[in-house]
Chains A and B, each alone.
Chain A
């Protein structure tokens, strides 16, 4: 373990956090919140800057890092961001318990959108902005951003980015890593800006448009109204956000191809077809189930499309209390929570490509039972998958189920019923936000006791980083020499 380099990179990333706190401070000034609005951010910046400077002042002589360090850096930075990102909530007195504040910040950075705040509308603008801005930062990844803007890290190693970008395989778009990171961020920010414009055209105030665009871009889902997007009561805004969420759930490599006029490849992309297919199937299934409950067909379609898009992309905005839907529809949504969106997007969950590979593996297994001597590769994206990738993808499912079970066990101490406990873990571990029953769109995570809140917050970070970096951070072998 190259501890000097780990400390150095983490220090640099803390300095980056100082810069990222600046926009919220400006918002506090713009809205005339005065000293009470400004000082929590100023103090947080100072608190982040002190260790940041101390750790990154001296550049280590040995800058070589390998995958082990990559995982540790990513996990440490995310925990560090969540801890320091919690300080503005604490210092301003909006949240009094440190664990609650950590939960809220982790929920922001991991783009979960689960909240323990009972009355969001009571928050000052600066804090609302900070909450949603963490979605924007966390969506594409803290370290991907760091690689894009901080040439001083100068790590040509893909280990950091590999550890942070979700999905079973990591696609490098350009030869140089910093170019890839910069390009991804450009696409990401440009799409966010376009969404802001569309929302403003729909009559949304600029601040609300910004906040909701951040929430959509990171597939986070923090709102600024107590009843989320339903407040605006506008079909245009609902469809804007539904399509926006869906587009941010697409692998960003596809947008890169679009930029370089390789549209044909996009149409051939198998994961995209699975993504569209699963979403469409879910919409049809839920619509059929809901027909007796709706009088207006257009309302029905709007609610279903929005909810499916929101849950599948793991965003968690809501325009309707889907926790009140019939059981079949709720179960379909619950299943969508596990599927998630495409790999290489800003969404959480298992990812469509993994689900597709699992489905194909099951089919392959069936066929092999029929003709045992047959050579039968599992094909995905037109290519046969290597056995190494297959076993790794398969093992990820075991890991996922294992961690999920442990989280469920811990949460069950403190939950009123099975659906609450199960959906609370599903909604946080998959970075969605709202679940069902007490944690449904109209509910809240404030009902859980402190230890459960802490465990769920750690679960969010594990889910966002796809488990392994956090486990590597905790494994004693990573810290032993040799």
Chain B
């Protein structure tokens, strides 16, 4: 497909890499010549220097006959104008990143009347993910499928867990309905089978009933972690979206924000929340605000390094769960060794969403991609397909299908009914199927067949 991307920020960079990797033809429009040259060196793309919202530049980039136009500059208005212009110029689909809550509210108007196909708000998506993480205290990461009905929970197996050294088929009987969809051991991904032995430090991807996952994590931790008190450092947009999603009767929430004006506005908008004005990176101040009493600390300031410091000091003070917002993914590799737990990268979430959207467009005839998530730094993928009538894998029992190695059928959703796939189950048209794969990117459900 022909794809035009405007803006070579972090999201733009991730999109260029991934979409080029999936053999799309990409044209990047970027204001800075140096940055563009840098991008051309990293990814197999072509580019134009200029303002992507301008008619001239867009014409030059061939927007008129491109399939998808993606505007991810830092500026909301530029993105919106660029996406509208592109649609009128002839692009078949246009995607805009829009951060401001005000524009998000008129999302429907922008989509229907002005033709922007998809508007994505990184902070909003990050907040949704954080809210899911609070539901699974032990989780490092929660991916959701089937419109939130199936959660794929990333969980780090602690060294003292009773399951360490056990083969999967020897797991206690109550966990038979629990699916371990994938595991990552020492950075290498694998799709486990009954003979796989669990080791300490494995990153497990658990799917199944939410209560069952929670029970498994609790048994592994040997204690029950229930989150009641939440401390959020930083009072920006992300924090507002998180607060919108928290049930304030259940959580006792405190927000620390350094700018008095922002803190005042937060306190005015969220009367149930304790808003503190002060420097959240100051250790003495955090002690005075009794950080150690909280069950969860969410580091959500605008600066990655500050967030890391906050999370590390929270872990030192004995806070059971920390959630850290980090935008620069190259910092993440350093982090794994200093005991940071859940990490949220809004830009990666946005890139994932756009890629999911691109894939679903790509395969409009076959089974469409409904949801998509990268696991463990992109080494594995979990994809949800909506099964079409023409799917070749339909109607036959799974045991008769020649499924390629390295592919796991995680779940089949038929209406309200969820099926944990066994040899006798069949895929029917209209089902939603979640698949985990370690190999090539999947575009159609048919590709799971050898």
Contact between A481 and B288, CB atoms less than 8 A apart: no
Q: How far is the CA of A481 from the CA of B229 in the complex (A)?
A: 9
Tell me the dominant secondary structure on chain B's binding face: mixed
Q: How far is the CA of A107 from the CA of B252 in the complex (A)?
A: 40
Inter-subunit contact B287/A481 (CB<8 Å): no
Minimum CB–CB distance for A199 against chain B, Å:
48
Q: Are B287 and A64 in contact (CB under 8 A)?
A: yes
Asked if A482 and B290 sit within 8 Å, CB to CB, the answer is yes
CB distance from A472 to the nearest CB of B (A): 15
Q: Which of A66, A480, A482 has the most CB of B within 10 A?
A: A482
A464-482 to B contact mask, C-beta < 8 Å, 1/0: 0000000000000000111
Residues of A within 8 A of B293 (CB): 481-482
The answer on a CB contact under 8 Å between B288 and A482 is: no
A66 and B294 in contact, given A481-B229, A482-B231, A482-B252 (Cβ under 8 angstroms):
no
Query: Is B254 located at the chain interface by the 8 A CB criterion?
Result: yes
B-contact bits for A43-73, CB 8 A (1 contact / 0 none) = 0000000000000000000001010000000
Interface of A is mostly: loop
Bound-state Cα–Cα, A480 to B229, Å: 11
| Chain A, residue nearest B288 (CB) | A66
Instruction: With CB as the reference atom, state the residue of chain A lying closest to B274.
Output: A482
Query: Which residues of A are found within 8 Å of B254, using beta-carbon distances?
Result: 482
List which B288-337 residues lie within 8 A (CB) of chain A.
288, 290, 293-294
Q: Closest approach, in angstroms, between the C-beta of B206 and any C-beta of chain A?
A: 30
| Number of residue pairs spanning A and B whose beta carbons lie under 8 angstroms apart | 13
| Bound CA span A481–B231, Å | 12
Size bin of chain B's contact surface: under 10
Task: Compute how far the CA of A481 lies from the CA of B318 in the bound complex, rounded to whole angstroms.
Answer: 14
Q: Which residue of B lies closest to A480 (CB)?
A: B252
A480: B residues at CB distance < 8 A: 252
Interface residues of B in 270-288 (CB under 8 A from A): 287-288
* CA A64 to CA B284, docked complex, whole Å: 10
CB distance from A71 to the nearest CB of B (A): 14
**Complex: chain A residue closest to B294, CB-CB:** A482
Residues of the A chain whose Cβ atoms lie less than 8 Å from the Cβ of B252: 480, 482
In the assembled complex, the Cα of A64 lies from the Cα of B287 at a distance in Å of: 9
Contacts of B290 in A (CB 8 A): 481-482
How distant is the Cα of A480 from the Cα of B294 in the complex, in angstroms? 11
CA A480 – CA B287 in complex, angstroms?
16
A69 to chain B, nearest CB (A): 11
Question: Which residue of B is nearest A66, CB measured?
Answer: B288
- Nearest CB of chain A from residue B243's CB, rounded to whole Å: 16
Q: Which residues on the B side are within 8 Å of A481 (C-beta)?
A: 229, 290, 293
Report how far A482 CA is from B256 CA in the complex, Å: 13
**A482 vs B290: C-alpha distance when bound (angstroms):** 5
A365 CB to nearest chain B CB (Å): 24
B223-239 CB contacts (< 8 Å) to partner A = 229, 231
Q: Is the CB of A482 within 8 A of B229?
A: yes
B288 cross-chain contacts in A, Cβ below 8 A: 66
Q: How far is the CB of B280 from chain A (nearest CB, A)?
A: 15
Q: Which residue of chain B lies nearest to A67 when distances are taken between CB atoms in the complex?
A: B288
List residues of A (62-115) whose CB comes within 8 Å of B's CBs. 64, 66
A277 to chain B, nearest CB (A): 39
Contacts of A64 in B (CB 8 A): 287
For B294, the chain A residues whose CB sits under 8 A away are 482
* Binary CB contact string for chain A from 114 to 126 against chain B (1 if under 8 A, 0 otherwise): 0000000000000
* Cα A480 to Cα B254 with chains together (Å): 13
B246 to chain A, nearest CB (A): 15
The complex places the Cα of A202 from the Cα of B288 at a distance, in Å, of 55
A64 to B229, CA, bound (A): 21
Q: How far is the CA of A66 from the CA of B278 in the complex (A)?
A: 15
Question: Within 8 Å CB of B287, what residues of A?
Answer: 64
Q: How far is the CA of A11 from the CA of B231 in the complex (A)?
A: 33
- Near A by CB (< 8 A), chain B positions 214-270 give 229, 231, 252, 254
In angstroms, how far is the closest chain B Cβ from the Cβ of A391? 14
Rounded to whole angstroms, the CA-CA distance of A480 and B288 in the bound complex is 14
Q: In the assembled complex, how far is the CB of residue B308 from the closest CB belonging to chain A, in whole angstroms?
A: 23
Complex Cα distance, B284 from A66, in Å, reads 11
Write out the residue numbers on chain A whose beta carbons fall within 8 Å of the beta carbon of B231: 482
Please, how many angstroms separate the alpha-carbon atoms of A66 and B290 in the complex? 10
Once the chains are docked, how many angstroms separate the CA of A183 from the CA of B431?
83
Q: Which 6 A-B pairs have the closest CB atoms?
A: A481-B293, A482-B293, A482-B229, A66-B288, A482-B294, A482-B290
Some 6 contacts from A to B, beta carbons below 8 A apart, are A66-B288, A481-B229, A482-B231, A482-B254, A482-B290, A482-B294
Contacts A480-B252, A482-B254 known; 11 new A-B pairs at CB < 8 A: A64-B287, A66-B288, A481-B229, A481-B290, A481-B293, A482-B229, A482-B231, A482-B252, A482-B290, A482-B293, A482-B294
Q: Which residues of A contact B (CB under 8 A)?
A: 64, 66, 480-482
